[in-house]
Amino acid sequence: MTAAKENPLKVVDVANLDAKTADQILEGFATQGFLFVDGHDFTQEEVDHFFELSKQYFALPQEVKDKQAIDADNCGYTSFHQEKLDPKLQLRGDPKEAFNFGLFNFITGDCKKEQLPELFAYGSENYKFINKMSKKYFELGSRILNLLAIGLKIDENEGGVNWFSDRHRTEGTSMTTMRVLHYPPSSKLDGDQVIRAGAHTDYGAITLLFQQKGQEGLELFDTTENWKPIPYVESANAEYRAQGKAAPIVVNIADQLSFWTNKVLKSTPHRVLVPNDVDRYSIVFFFHADNDVRLTPIPSPIVKAAAQPGQYDNKKPEDYITSKEYLLKRLKDTYA
Ligand SMILES: O=C(O)CCC(=O)C(=O)O
Ligand SMILES: [Fe+2]
């Protein structure tokens, strides 16, 4: 029998929206910044189907994919070496390709229609499937934000449990992106390329990521300042497995929530390596606050206690960047 791979992350079941779960979530995000989340609503069949569609898409001829090159709304296809996630250290862009669905309406699940390949054409079965998955990601992301609001003890009069969800509205306009990624195996890369995605922190509020068994490579910079691989884990809950639920999903804090909480929540650097000669596919939901939301300090006694004396004195709301301004700044560096 081979030993189970070491898992540096806590697995938190979010089925119950209660103080105990909220404290577990907060603890994980205030230390490591990363967690596995179980007790979600995704089935394994759905996740497998999404990966199957992603594989079909990336297998299309290069010139077909290039037709929907990434646009100003951050929607569309990014090709190999186009994106530098670690612009200070990387000479060449990441050896990966990706497709972004964006400009969502989370009431209907619709995304930007003009920037879709034939495979996901507006109105098709695949398009409807994408709508459904984006709504599920939205619901899970919102649940995690609600738990964070409980954990951070945001006062009822200030918005309480809904403080974050009021700023990530179903009907809101945000830069939230659902992204499929493909990293080719080592044998397809130039000699000494060992990094598939440079070290970076994410740009939104939280990130939710599915990966597949046997395609590891994601690593996080842990609290001891060492790179630690994030394994694929199965649910420890036999009932969930019997119900056909998908494996736990990787969730991490991104920069907006770190700013917003005065770094109480940690936006942890991570990267993707090439541990073996297999393709890696991942499906990631970058959950962003509504575009015009300013990243002012949140009304939490825990956040207040973490501030330096006088840090927030004489500050006007306009002194704080908005969610969209922050993203645009980071994208400019990434695609420079
Ligand atoms: O594909 C992965 O595992 C990680 C992707 C990632 O960190 C990102 O795109 O921000
Ligand atoms: Fe990332």
- 169: domain CATH number is 2.60.120.330
Domain-embedded: residue 2: no
Residue with CA at minimum distance from ligand 1 atom 3: 218
Domain-embedded: residue 6: no
Mutate to test the pocket of ligand 1, among 218, 327, 334, 335 (most ligand atoms within 8 A of CB): 218
Could you tell me the distance, in angstroms and rounded to a whole number, from the CA of residue 266 to the centre of ligand 2?
13
Q: Is the CB of 197 under 6 A from ligand 1?
A: yes
User: Parallel, antiparallel, or unpaired: how do β-strands 34-38 and 218-221 relate?
Assistant: unpaired
Residue with CA at minimum distance from ligand 1 atom 10: 202
Q: Is the CB of 218 under 6 A from ligand 1?
A: yes
- Cβ burial, residue 105 (10 Å; 0-12/13-18/19+): middle
d(CA 129, CA 263): 36
Tokens 């070491």 label which residue? Answer: 6
Q: Edge to edge, what strands does the sheet with 218-221 contain?
A: 195-200, 270-273, 218-221, 227-229
pLDDT reported for residue 190: 76
Could you tell me the distance, in angstroms and rounded to a whole number, from the CA of residue 197 to the centre of ligand 2?
8
| pTM for this entry | 0.95
Domain-embedded: residue 3: no
- Are the beta carbons of 323 and 293 closer than 8 angstroms? yes
pLDDT reported for residue 332: 81
Domain-embedded: residue 1: no
Domain-embedded: residue 309: yes
Domain-embedded: residue 197: yes
d(CA 64, CA 122): 17
The percentage of residues in the chain with a pLDDT greater than 90, rounded to a whole number, is: 78
pLDDT reported for residue 330: 81
pLDDT reported for residue 336: 63
Task: Say how many domains are in the chain.
Answer: 1
Q: Which atom of ligand 1 is nearest to the CA of 286?
A: 10
pLDDT reported for residue 85: 79
The percent helix, strand, coil of the chain (3-state, each to 5) is 30, 20, 45
Q: Is the CB of 270 under 6 A from ligand 1?
A: yes
- Spans in the chain with pLDDT lower than 50: 1-3
Domain-embedded: residue 5: no
pLDDT reported for residue 99: 98
135-173 CB burial, b ≥16 within 10 A, e <16: bbbbebbbbbbbbbbbbbebeeeebebebbbbbbeeebe
Domain-embedded: residue 4: no
Q: Which domain holds residue 175?
A: 11-334
Q: Which atom of ligand 1 is nearest to the CA of 181?
A: 1
pLDDT reported for residue 4: 57
pLDDT in tens, 245-304: 999 999 999 999 998 999 999 999 999 998 788 999 999 999 999 999 999 989 999 999
Q: Is the CB of 181 under 6 A from ligand 1?
A: yes
